[in-house]
Structure 1
C-alpha cells in the first residue's frame, strides 16, 4: 500500500515519530557542544536568523540581503568553526555513545569530586598523612561548618592534600564538603561516645563515627599511624578499604543514591564498632 493511502492515524503517527527523532537528535547534539565555546557561536547564529526575520517583516531590504548572505555562506563557516565539536560527535557516534544516557552537570560535578577525594586519599594513605573528610547529604551540617575556617572552594585533590599536610594551619580538624564544594576546613566534629569502639582508634575515627551518628553524612578517614582508609556511615565504621571499594561506595551513595545494590560494598569491608 503506498504511503499516501495509509490510514490517517498511521500517517499522523509516522509524522509524530519523525519529529520526535529529529528533536532527539538536536537535543543530543546540544549535549555534545554544551560547555564549549560552540554554544556561544550557536547563540550568534540564532541572533542572525532573528535579525533576518525582523528585517524581512519591516522591509529593511539591505539588512535582509546582508543576513541572506551570512546565512548562505554560514553553512560553510559552521563546518570550519565547529570542526572540533563535529569530530567529537562523530567519534562518539562511532563508539555508540552519542545516543547513550547523558549525565547531568550535577552528576559530572559529583564524579569529579569523588575522583578528587580518592586521588587525595591515595596520596595521603601512602604517606600516612592523617585526614578527615565529611560529605554533607540530606542532613545539614551548617553548625559544624561554622566551627571551621570557611573556604567555599572547588574540590580538588591538590587542595585536599595541602589542607592536611602536617603543621599547616588547617590540617587539624575535618574538611566538610557541601554541595560539591569544600565549605570549610579545620572543623570540629562531635566525638562518638560508643563504648564499643576499638581502643586502637584515635580521635579522627571517633569524630567520624560521631558525625555519622547525628547526620547522614559520609566521612572518609585516613589513619596517621597506619595509612589505612576507613569510612563511616549511619553510625558504622568500615575499616581498611581498598581504593576501588572507596570509589564504588562514594559513587553508589552520592551519584547513584537510588541504586538498589548500594549495600553490595558492605561485605567487602571490615566493619568495626
Structure 2
C-alpha cells in the first residue's frame, strides 16, 4: 500500500514502459521458441511445475523432495536442452531479425502460392522428376531449414522446377516453404521409422511422413519412378492425389483462419482417398 501511496506520475509512466518492454520481449521470445520443436519441451517443463505445485500443496514430502532435486539441476539442463534455440535467438538478435515482422501469407498471397506450386508439380509429375516440398504451419521448421541452403525467395513455378531438376546443386533434399517464401532448399528431413509403411514407398515418401510425424507440416511428394503426386500430413500419406483434391486440401490447411476440426477432416479425407501409413 505504501508503494502505491508514494507513487508519482513520473514513476507510474516509467513502470508502465518497463512492463510494456518486458512484455514485448517475452512475446518475441515465445515466437522464437514457437518456431522450433522446443514447444513440446516447454509443455513437459510446465507439467513438472504443476506436479511440484501439487506436491507442495498436498504436503507430499517424498515427491516434493524429488521435484526439488530436479529443479536444483534444472537450470543447467534448460541451457543444455534449449541450446539450439538460444543460439538461434542470439544470431537473429545480431542480425536484427529477432523483432522482425511475420511472413504469414494472406488469402490472396496463398492463392498465388498454391497456383505456382500446382504448376510446378504438374510439370515435374509429367516428366517424372522427383520433388519434396514442405509447408510450415504452427510448428516451426527452423531446425530443418538450417540443414539446407537458405533462399528467402518468393515462390514461383519456374524457381521450383529449377530447384528439382536432376544433377543441380539443390535438387537433392526438401524445399521448405514458410509463409509466402521458400525459406530453404536441399534440406534434410527425419525419416519415418513406422514399420507399417508400405515397402513400395522410397526415401522421399518416408521423409515426407517423418516430418509430418514430428510437426504439423504438410508435405508434397512427386515420385520420380511413377510421377504420382502424394500428400502427407499427420504421419499419413495419400498417394496419387488428384489435382482438384490437392488444391482444396492445400487451401483448407494453409488458410490463415484457424479450423479446430482440421485433424478430424484430414482423417476422413485420408480414408476416403485410400491413404497409406
User: TM-score, with normalisation over the residues of structure 2?
Assistant: 0.58
Match of 1:269 among 266, 269, 273: 273
State the match for 2:188 in structure 1: 188
Instruction: Mark the runs of 5 or more structure 2 residues left unpaired by the alignment.
Output: 1-103
Cα shift at 1:244: 1.0
- Would the alpha carbon gap of residues 115 and 193 (structure 1) be closer, same or farther in structure 2, given more than 3 Å must change? same
1:129-140 equivalent positions in 2, closer than 5 A: 129-140=129-140
State the match for 1:220 in structure 2: 220
State the match for 2:172 in structure 1: 172
Cα shift at 1:268: 4.3
Q: 1:30-67: CA deviations, max 9, x gaps?
A: xxxxxxxxxxxxxxxxxxxxxxxxxxxxxxxxxxxxxx
Cα shift at 1:180: 1.3
Is residue 259 of structure 2 the alignment partner of residue 258 of structure 1? yes
Aligned-partner Cα distance in 2 for 1:267–1:109: 30
- Would the alpha carbon gap of residues 136 and 127 (structure 1) be closer, same or farther in structure 2, given more than 3 Å must change? same
User: TM-score, with normalisation over the residues of structure 1?
Assistant: 0.59
1:53-132 equivalent positions in 2, closer than 5 A: 106-132=106-132
Cα shift at 1:221: 0.2
- Would the alpha carbon gap of residues 160 and 105 (structure 1) be closer, same or farther in structure 2, given more than 3 Å must change? closer
State the match for 2:211 in structure 1: 211
Greater relative contact order (Cα < 8 A, sep 6+): 2
Cα shift at 1:267: 4.5
- Would the alpha carbon gap of residues 213 and 105 (structure 1) be closer, same or farther in structure 2, given more than 3 Å must change? closer
Aligned-partner Cα distance in 1 for 2:276–2:209: 11
State the match for 1:85 in structure 2: none
Aligned-partner Cα distance in 2 for 1:108–1:259: 22
In the TM superposition, structure 1's runs of 4+ consecutive aligned residues that sit over 6 Å from their partners are none
Q: Secondary structure at the match of 2:106?
A: helix
Aligned-partner Cα distance in 2 for 1:129–1:160: 12
Q: Secondary structure at the match of 1:163?
A: helix
Instruction: Mark the runs of 5 or more structure 1 residues left unpaired by the alignment.
Output: 1-103
CA RMSD of aligned residues (A): 1.8
State the match for 2:149 in structure 1: 149
Q: Secondary structure at the match of 1:270?
A: coil
Q: 1:4-54: CA deviations, max 9, x gaps?
A: xxxxxxxxxxxxxxxxxxxxxxxxxxxxxxxxxxxxxxxxxxxxxxxxxxx
Aligned-partner Cα distance in 2 for 1:105–1:234: 22
Is residue 241 of structure 2 the alignment partner of residue 241 of structure 1? yes
Q: Which has the larger radius of gyration?
A: 1
Q: Secondary structure at the match of 1:139?
A: coil
Cα shift at 1:258: 2.3
Cα shift at 1:118: 1.0
Q: Secondary structure at the match of 2:129?
A: coil
Cα shift at 1:179: 1.6
- Contact 2:105 2:180 (8 Å CA) reproduced: no
Aligned-partner Cα distance in 1 for 2:273–2:219: 15
